[in-house]
Amino acid sequence: MKLINKSNKLENVCYEIRGPILTEAKKMEDEGHRILKLNIGNPAPFGFEAPDDILKDVIHNLPNSQGYSDSNGIYSARVAVMQYYQQLQIKNVSIDDVFIGNGVSELIVMAMQGLLNNDDEVLIPAPDYPLWTAAVSLASGKPVHYLCDDSNNWQPDIKDIRSKISDKTKAIVLINPNNPTGAVYSRELLQEIIEIAREFGIAIISDEIYDKILYDHAKHYSIAAMANDVFFITLSGLSKNYRVAGFRAGWLVVSGNKRIANGYIEGLNMLSSMRMCANVPSQHAIQTALGGYQSINELISHDGRLKIQRDLAFEMLNAIDGLECVIPQGAMYCFVKVDAEKFNITNDEKMILDLLRAEKVLLVHGSAFNLHQGCYFRLVFLPSVDVLKPALEGIANFFAHYKQV
C-alpha cells in the first residue's frame, strides 16, 4: 500500500510549543481534569481584553471588508505602520516598504521563503521563539543558533555570534523584547550587532512583537533606527500589545540599505500577492491600535495587572529550591533554570510531563525553544493572581519531591 507521508521539507521542521505534551493535556481534560495552562502567550482568554476602539473599528468596517485588499495591505494600515516607524526614527520607510500579514507568523515564514536558498544560514537566538528555527528549515535553510547568556541577563553572546558567521550567513534574527527570556536589549548591544552585520554584509531581522510590553523603566530600541547602511526587516503586530491574537494582524517593514535588497523585496511582493492579502477586517484595527490610546501602559505600570503577575511569578519561582530565574524586563514569560543535577533530570520534556500529571500545571520545556544546554522551562504569567498563585504553588510542591527516573 502506498502511504501518504509528510514531505521531506518537513523533515527538520520542529515546533514543540503545541506538541505532544499538549496532546496529553487535552487527554487529561477529556478525562475531567482541570489543567492550569501556563504554556501559550495568548492574552485574551486570561481576561486581557482588547481596547474597545479596536473592536468598534473592525465591526464598523466589516461591511467594507468583503473583497480582497491590496496584497500588501489596506492603505490606512500601511500608512499607520509607516508613521509608527518614522516616529521611532527609522528613516527611509515608505508605504511600499510595509507588508501586512495574517499575524507575524505568516510574515516570518514568508520572509524566510523569500530569502533562503538551500543551506543558506540564518543566525537565530538560543533560546528562540521556535517558529524562527522552523521557518528557516522549511525554507531549506540552515538555522545556526547563537547563545544568549542567562548570567548576563540573557543578552546575546557577541563572541558566539561572531564565531558562527560563515560565507553562507544571510541574516541574523533578534527577538527584542525576547520570547522566551523576557530580555530587552541595550543600545550598546544593538550597536555591536549592527557592526557585525555591516562587517559581514548580512541582513538584520528584528522581531519586535512585544515592543510595548516593558517593565521597570526598561527601554526598547528598534534596531532599524540605529543605522542606514544595513538592510533591516522589522516585524510586529497586534497579537500581544493589543491583545487580539485571534485577529491575525501583523506587519513586516523593510528599511535601511534597501538598494542592496531590491531582488529580495521583489520576491516578498510576489509571495505577498500569491496569498492574495491578509484578513481584511483585522487590517482595519491597525490604524486605530497604533494611533489610539495605548491601554497596554496601564497593564505594565507599577500597579498594573501584568506587572503584578510578573512580580508574583518571579518571586515565587525564585523561592523554590533548585529553580532560578532572571527577572523579565519585557514580554509575558519567565524562563526558569532548573538544577538538573539536584532533581536528576536528563530529559526536560519528561520533567514537564511529570509536572503536568502530578500538579495539572502545563508549561513548556526549554529544549522546545532550541536551547540544548542546561535545563529550563517557560512559564506564561498571563493568568490572574487567583490562578497563577495555585499554579506556582503546584510547581513548588512538585519540585519539593521530584527526582526524575
Binding site for ligand PLP (CB under 6 A): 41, 103-105, 129, 175, 179, 207, 209, 237, 239, 245, 250
Task: State how beta strands 333-338 and 323-325 pair.
Answer: antiparallel
CB of 388 to ligand PLP, least distance (A): 19
CB of 34 to ligand PLP, least distance (A): 24
Q: Which is nearer to ligand PLP, 124 or 194 (CB)?
A: 124
CB of 245 to ligand PLP, least distance (A): 5
CB of 125 to ligand PLP, least distance (A): 10
Task: State how beta strands 376-380 and 333-338 pair.
Answer: antiparallel
Q: Which residues contact 349 (CB under 8 A, 6 or more apart)?
A: 16, 20, 21, 365, 367, 368
Minimal CB distance residue for ligand PLP? 103
Cell of 334: 519567565
Contact present, 313 and 334 (Cβ < 8 Å): yes
CB of 182 to ligand PLP, least distance (A): 11
Peptide bond into 127 cis (omega under 30): yes
CB of 114 to ligand PLP, least distance (A): 17
Q: Which is nearer to ligand PLP, 129 or 231 (CB)?
A: 129
Contact present, 99 and 252 (Cβ < 8 Å): yes
Partnered with residue 234 across adjacent β-strands are 206, 253
Please state whether 401 falls in left (phi above 0), alpha (psi between -120 and 50) or beta. alpha
Q: Which is nearer to ligand PLP, 209 or 261 (CB)?
A: 209
CB of 369 to ligand PLP, least distance (A): 10
Q: Which is nearer to ligand PLP, 97 or 211 (CB)?
A: 211
- Its sign, for the CA torsion 225, 227, 228, 233, is negative
Collapse the DSSP code of 377 into the 3-class scheme (helix H, G, I; strand E, B; otherwise coil) and give the result.
Answer: strand
Q: Which is nearer to ligand PLP, 332 or 345 (CB)?
A: 332
Question: Concatenated DSSP letters for 57-90?
Answer: HHHHHGGGGSS---TT--HHHHHHHHHHHHHTT-
Q: Which is nearer to ligand PLP, 154 or 343 (CB)?
A: 154
Q: Which is nearer to ligand PLP, 179 or 367 (CB)?
A: 179
Q: What is the DSSP letter of 168?
A: T
